[in-house]
């Protein structure tokens, strides 16, 4: 499979904190062991300052052997700049209080996977979700900046979604985001896309439309994204998917994304009555 533009060689989030946290490596390791029993400190020490961990049952094949997937955790040396999160704040639909919460934050902690891009994508995301749930139980934070999907989510909401089911983690946990853009020079036209699939090696979606309810388009995008996540990149150019109505069929076409980040997406055409742009 060709890897779409934007595929994440590293995958991570920022934990946004009211003050720089004091992190206990021993406590962090104890929390990780609850969900990742194969975890071990990268340096073999439980009391060092290196917050790097390996997962011995999650092996990545290299040309000359295998290496375990890893996680690296570090307090950012830079003071948090809320303006740099503006794009994410504008697309954080599931966290209405994100702006006011983020404004209280001055520090951030980076949680990043390393040497993990070679894992099967569902295994990679599941491992990262387990790690993240363990980390935010130890490191106090007010919000999570999910960098690969450009959104801010609540840590409480993440833990609730994590506890419910893998499906709920996908929809509400931050790994996928449906973004909405109004076309400024074309009143009534909208563009919606997904962000998050390409970071896992799959193909994101977009739909350029008018005269449709964005909430209905959101459901189509989420359902199609979840279908791709469960089944892989099985949609081919020219295939159709079910649209908003049970009897509607939307044609799929591979195109360059109309909005950043640059990547190839599956464009969903809702038909001549609703499609916008040059079709």
pLDDT at residue 239, as a whole number: 97
pTM of the shown model: 0.92
pLDDT at residue 6, as a whole number: 43
Q: Which residues of the chain have pLDDT under 70?
A: 1-8, 279
- Roughly what angle, to the nearest 10 degrees, separates helices 25-35 and 121-136? 130
pLDDT at residue 8, as a whole number: 57
Delimit the domains of the chain by residue range.
11-172, 177-269
**H helices of the chain, where?**
25-35, 86-90, 98-102, 121-136, 155-164, 166-172, 214-231
Architecture of the domain delimited by 11-172: 2-Layer Sandwich (3.30)
Backbone angles phi, psi at 93, to 5 degrees: -70, -25
Percent of residues, the chain, with pLDDT higher than 90: 84
What is the distance between the alpha carbons of residues 272 and 182, in angstroms, rounded to a whole number?
Answer: 19
pLDDT at residue 186, as a whole number: 80
Q: Hey, what are 69's tokens?
A: 């997937």
């Amino acid at each position: 499979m060709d890897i779409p533009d934007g595929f994440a060689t590293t995958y991570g989030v920022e934990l946004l904190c009211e003050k720089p946290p004091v992190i206990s490596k021993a406590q962090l390791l104890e929390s990780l062991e609850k969900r990742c029993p194969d975890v071990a400190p990268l340096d073999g020490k439980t009391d060092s300052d290196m917050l790097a961990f390996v997962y011995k049952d999650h092996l990545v094949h290299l040309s000359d052997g295998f290496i375990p997937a890893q996680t690296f955790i570090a307090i950012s040396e830079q003071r948090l700049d809320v303006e740099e999160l503006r794009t994410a704040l504008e697309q954080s639909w599931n966290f209405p209080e994100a702006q006011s919460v983020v404004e209280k934050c001055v520090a951030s902690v980076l949680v990043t996977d390393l040497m993990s891009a070679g894992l099967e994508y569902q295994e990679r995301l599941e491992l990262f979700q387990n790690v993240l749930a363990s980390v935010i139980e130890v490191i106090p934070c007010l919000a999570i900046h999910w960098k690969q999907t450009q959104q801010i989510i609540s840590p409480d909401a993440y833990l609730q979604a994590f506890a419910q089911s893998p499906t709920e983690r996908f929809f509400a946990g931050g790994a996928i985001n449906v973004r909405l853009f109004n076309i400024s020079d074309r009143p009534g036209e909208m563009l919606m896309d997904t962000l998050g699939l390409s970071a896992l090696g799959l193909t994101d979606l977009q739909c350029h439309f008018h005269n449709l309810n964005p909430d209905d388009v959101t459901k189509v995008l989420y359902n199609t994204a979840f279908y791709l996540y469960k089944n892989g990149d099985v949609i081919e150019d020219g295939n159709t998917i079910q649209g908003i109505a049970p009897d509607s069929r939307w044609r799929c076409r591979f195109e360059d994304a109309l909005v950043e980040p640059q990547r190839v997406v599956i464009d969903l055409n809702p038909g001549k009555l609703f499609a916008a742009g040059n079709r």
